[in-house]
Amino acid sequence: MADDDISLLRKEIGEFLQTHDPADTPRTEFLRARFDAGLAWVHYPEGLGGRGLDAALQPAVDAEFAAAGAPDNAPHRNVIGLGMAAPTLLKYATEADQRRWLRPLWTGEEIWCQLFSEPGAGSDLATAGTRAVREGDDWVVNGQKVWTSLAHEASWALLIARTDPDVPKHRGLSYFVCDMSSPGIEVRALRQLTGEAEFNEVFLGDVRVPDANRLGELGEGWKVTQTTLMNERVAIGAGIAPREGGPIGFLTQAWRDQTGARSGALHDRTLSLWARAEAARLTTARLRQQMAAGLPGPEGSGAKLSYALLAQDVSNAEVDLQGHLGMRFDDYSSRRPDLDEEGRRPAGYRFLRTKGNSIEGGTSEIMRTIIAERVLGLPAEPRVDVDIPWKELKR
């Protein structure tokens, strides 16, 4: 990361802000212009929102815009699009499709979801049975997906479907981009432990997907899927947060605010969790740079596992700190509770919601297997179905 690059970017941001005053420019218009100027994600290629520069420059760019009061692209609204779809499109989509999809994805005008998991094909995603049959220039897709975040808001979906049932499970999948407004798609909300409906099940009945929307070669969907999944794990486990940001920030603030229930044991527990959170934050900064450079690796599984365990331990401590009041949570209105004046949700909500952290994006058990085999080089678990045609597998 060169100082000259930072100085040049700051100069160009200043010039951009002179012609696009955040106070006077409509939000979407401002974000489109920022993308077109190559100041959206500077590590992406020119013409696709970037400058082809070092990913480590991005925080400085974002900070300059934030200091000027500029709107951001609300990344929390399009986590799958930004964290998983964008790097997959950058690697596998044609240049024309990249230009079609990446701009409205970054501005948040088009939300993305991920049609991967199925009933009976969650942890072992390669056994997915949603079928895609070729008809001319289209594929006709039939099947059911589950645990699909943002499907009720999405314009586009990343879809894996089985195009060849006669070969082993990893070799018969293909990867598509699916228009969520296509006839034959039905989205049904799934209500969670917290009462909100964040996930969905999606039914696909004779949905037509153009072959032009296929990413990667026919039958090589598993290869493309790995790119998406590795980025997903880094996106979940290596989120950008300042010191004491995220769950640990809620706990430490609750500790400072609390006067009655603090004990020596809780004090030591809070300090231990703070140290774990800080170590994780520093470690995952490098992983995010790998992801931005298009090089996510199996280490992302370690970040994802660490995040899940830490978030659950922190929420447990926060509830314990508040005593019986910490268990109070009475908003089951099928929506996420509103933030309070300090930007927080009830501790009871976090306690319930973090239970899903060890499931979503790959279970903690699967993460441990990946770490053991691909990071530590330990002997692989026996797998007896990798050479059997998918149609002969017991399901």
Active site residues: 232
Q: Please, what is the Cα angle at 314 between 312 and 317, to 5 degrees?
A: 110
β-pair partners for 131: 142, 162
User: Side chain identity at 77, as an amino acid letter?
Assistant: R
**Beta strand 131-135 pairing with 138-145:** antiparallel
Question: Which residues are CB-neighbours of 121 under 8 A, at least 6 positions away?
Answer: 127, 128, 129
Cβ(101)–Cβ(93) below 8 Å: yes
Per residue, the 3-state secondary structure of 264-333, as one string, reads HHHHHHHHHHHHHHHHHHHHHHHHHHHHHCCCCCCHHHHHHHHHHHHHHHHHHHHHHHHHHHHHCCCCCC
For the chain, helix, strand, coil in percent to 5 are 50, 15, 35
Q: Which residues of 207-238 are buried (b: 16+ CB within 10 A; e: fewer)?
A: bbbeeebbbbeebbbbbbbebbbbbbbbbbbb
